Structure 1
Amino acid sequence: MSEPHEKNKHIEEEEEVEEEEYVLLELDHCLYSDIPPGAPFVISGLDTLTPTLTVGDRLKMVGEYEETVGTCYLFSESEKPASSSKEAPSKEVNHLASVHKILKFRPINAEAPAAQSISG
């Protein structure tokens, strides 16, 4: 008689498990020199259609999601120690995550490229 109760408990536990989703961030129309290394940043509204990214206290960007046409795979690369003194050091590549969405950010105060060329 306890079997149906255990089965329902197992189903409830599965529903509570949250699935992680990775998203690739792309910074359009932004010079990377505008972002100092180690600058604090805040991403808000990830569950909205237009999340915002604030870097430091002067750069604010708005984003929108785009589905990828497949899966993007993200990898990390690290030095692999040589097993003997005669072997040259090699690189080790490890799979980090797979993504199906790209979150493209653009500065909020950026003008459209066409408008810049007309006025310049």
Structure 2
Amino acid sequence: MEANAASHDHEDQDEYVLLNLDGVSDLIDIPPNAKYVLTIGEYEETIGTCIAFTEQEAAVVHEETGPSEVNIFSGTRLIDSSQAPTTQVKPVCQLHKVLKFKLSPDSEIQNVTAKEAK
């Protein structure tokens, strides 16, 4: 994952973060109809971490351990076919950065939130 930062000289130095997910496109599958929220505004100081996860279904695996004369599979892993597959979620990558963000007064998100609050 690549983070591009562009700085503009004002009274204070403003920083904008653009996340380019092309670098992880072979690691994660982001479908065209994936839900997301687009916010428009400016950053205020806060710490933010963006983490991309991968999710897949996998069979339940048990590891046989412990000494036993009956246990001929000691130290091996067995797939439990009697249980339904579980969803495994694993982090793929993360970006940790101090962010400064404040919603723009013109933001549609802010307008919708204000209407819902009434």
TM-score, normalised via structure 2 length: 0.33
Structure having the larger proportion of residues in helix: 1
Structure having the larger proportion of residues in strand: 2
TM-score, normalised via structure 1 length: 0.33
